[in-house]
Amino acid sequence: MSPHLQDDTTNEHPAVTRFREYLRIDTRQPTPDYAGSTEFLIREAKEIGMPYRVVECVKGKPTVIMTFEGEDPSLPALLLNSHTDVVPVFPEMWTQDPMGANKVDGFIYARGSQDMKCVGISYLEVLRRYRLEGRKPLQEEVGGVEGMKLLVHHEEFKRLNVAFALDEGIASPKDALKVFYGERMPWWIKITATGPTGHGSQFIKDTAPTKLLKVIEKFMNLRNEQEKLLEVGLHHNGQRYTLGDVTTINLTFMQSGIQYNVIPMEATCGFDIRVSPFFDMKEFQAKIEGFVSSQPGVTMEFVNGHFDNTLTAIDESNIWWTVFSEACKGMNVEYETEIFP
C-alpha cells in the first residue's frame, strides 16, 4: 500500500494541529528562527491564559517563561523545561520535507518531532486542559530555553522559586516509559599537535599528524573498551547496561595540511565524549590528559565541558519521586529508570 499524505486538518485534533504548526517553525541550528518560536509560545500563553515574560540572557536568544499559578503560589515551583532549537538536517536523507510536519498514514515527519518540540507542546497541552477544566495544580513554570546555564543565575530564575525540574526525555518504543534520573556529561575536546614540516618526499620524524594519530589511537582503544562493556555489562539486579551506563567517545573531526606534498606543522582533531555518571570524573579527566601528554607538542582544550554528574534520588527520600512513581502506578503506567544517554 502506498503512503497516504494527510494534509487536511479538518478532522484533526487541535492539539495535533498546534504541534505540527510548532514543528514548521524553522529553528534549525545554527540560525534558528527564535522570533518565530517566541511568537508561537507567546500566542499559546495568551490562549491558555498564562502570564508570561521574555528574558534574553544572551541577545537574540530569548527565554519564554510562562506561569501557571497553583492553589498556593507561595510554595516552591515545578519547572518544566523545553528547548526550541533543533539540530541541522540532511534533506536528501529524508523521505519528507524535514520542516513540513507532513502526516503520512498517521505518522508526523519533522525535525524536532522527537527532540524536543513534542515535549514542549505536551506541557502546553496539559496546562491548556487544566485551564479548561478549572484545575489548579501546584505552581508550575514552563520555559522554552536557550542558555539555561546563564538563566539559572538570572534574577528572573530566582523569582521562579524552583524546587524540582523536568527536562527532555526520549520517546519510548515500548509500553514502558523511560524515566531518566541522571545524564552523561558532554565533553567536547579539541586536540592539537605540532611538529616539524618538510617536503612530502622525505621521512620526517615526529610530525604533527604522526603524533596526533598516536593520541587518537589511545582514545579509540578506550572507546572500544566501553563499547564492549555496553555489550556485556550487567547491573547488580541482572539488568543489562544501557547506553547511559557507559562513556561514549567519538572522533568527530580532523584537520591538517594545505597541500599534498607539504607535511603540515599542525594537526587537530575533535572528540565528542559523553561521560557516564558512574565514572569518577577527575580520574577520567586525568586519564585522557595522560593520553595527550604521552606525545610531546600535543595539547588539549575543552571546547565544552560539564562536570556536575549529580543523580536524582529515585527512592522514598525524594518526595517528588514518590509523587511521580505513585501517579504512574495509579494509572497502570509502567516505567524503567535509566541514565539519559
pTM over 0.75: no
What three-state secondary structure class fits 29? coil
- Tell whether the torsion through CA atoms of 168, 173, 179 and 180 is positive or negative: negative
The rounded distance, in Å, linking the Cα atoms of 139 and 160 is 9
Q: Let me know: does 62 contact 54? Beta carbons within 8 Å.
A: yes
The rounded distance, in Å, linking the Cα atoms of 300 and 283 is 16
Which pLDDT score, from 0 to 100, does residue 141 have? 32
* CB-side neighbour CA atoms (13 Å) of 143: 24
The rounded distance, in Å, linking the Cα atoms of 69 and 116 is 24
Spacing of C-alpha 328 from chain mean position: 24
Strand 298-305 relative to strand 61-68, pairing: unpaired
The rounded distance, in Å, linking the Cα atoms of 291 and 218 is 6
CB atoms within 10 A of CB 276: 23
Q: Cα 128–131–134 angle (5° rounding)?
A: 150
Please identify, in words, the CATH class of the domain defined by 14-168: alpha beta
CATH number of the domain at 185-305, out of 3.30.70.360, 3.40.50.1100, 3.10.20.30, 3.40.50.920? 3.30.70.360
Residue ranges of the domains in the chain?
14-168, 185-305
Q: Let me know: does 166 contact 340? Beta carbons within 8 Å.
A: no
- Tell whether the torsion through CA atoms of 28, 31, 34 and 37 is positive or negative: negative
Task: Scan for cell 489548579, then name that residue.
Answer: 136
Residues in contact with 205: Cβ distance below 8 Å, sequence separation at least 6, in sequence order: 196
- pLDDT (tens, 9 = 90+) of the chain, 341 residues, equals 456 666 667 789 999 999 999 999 999 999 999 999 999 999 999 999 999 999 999 899 999 999 998 888 888 889 999 999 999 999 999 999 999 999 999 999 999 998 889 999 999 999 999 999 887 654 333 333 346 777 778 888 888 888 888 887 777 778 899 999 999 999 999 999 999 999 999 999 999 999 999 999 999 999 999 999 999 999 888 889 999 999 999 999 999 999 999 999 999 999 999 999 999 999 999 999 999 999 999 999 999 888 888 999 999 999 999 999 999 999 999 999 999 98
Tell me whether residue 65 is exposed, middle or buried, using C-beta atoms within 10 angstroms of its C-beta: 0 to 12, 13 to 18, 19 or more: buried
The rounded distance, in Å, linking the Cα atoms of 16 and 13 is 5
Residues noted as catalytic: 85, 140
Strand positions, DSSP E, 92-247: 102-104, 107-109, 140-144, 162-166, 177-183, 185-194, 198-199
